Homo-oligomer: A and B are copies of this chain.
Amino acid sequence: MSSQQNKGVGLNLAKETRCMTCSLSSLCLPLSLNLEDIDQLDRIIKRRQPLKKGDHLFRQGDHFDSVYAVRSGSLKNYIMTNDGEEQITNFHLPSELVGLDGVDCSSYPVSSKALETTTVCEIPYTRLQSLAQELPDLRNQIFSSMSKEIRDDKQMMLLLSKKNAEERVATFLGNLSSRFKRRGYSPYTFRLPMSRNEIGNYLGLAVETVSRVFTRFQTIQIIAVNGKEVHITDRQQLLEIAGVTECEVEQPGKLIAS
Judged by a CB distance under 8 angstroms, whether A102 is at the interface is: yes
Q: Is the interface of A mostly helix, strand, loop or mixed?
A: helix
* Apart from the given pairs A82-B243, A101-B150, 6 other A-B contacts in the complex at a CB distance below 8 Å: A81-B158, A81-B162, A83-B243, A129-B136, A146-B150, A156-B157
Which of B139, B156, B158, B251 makes the CB contact (< 8 A) with A105?
B251
- Does residue A155 face the partner (Cβ distance < 8 Å to B)? yes
In the complex, A219 has a CB within 8 A of chain B: no
Bound: A129/B142 CA distance, A: 13
Contact partner of A104 (CB less than 8 A), chosen from B110, B157, B253, is B253
| Interface flag for A244 (CB, 8 Å) | yes
Query: What's the nearest-Cβ distance from chain B to residue A97, in Å?
Result: 12
Interface residues of A in 72-123 (CB under 8 A from B): 79, 81-83, 85, 87, 89, 100-105, 109-110
Report the separation of the CA atoms of residues A245 and B81 in the bound assembly, to the nearest whole angstrom. Answer: 11
Interface size class, chain A: 35 or more
With an 8 A cutoff between CB atoms, is A34 at the interface?
no
Closest 7 CB pairs of A and B: A161-B204, A104-B144, A153-B153, A160-B160, A103-B147, A101-B150, A87-B158
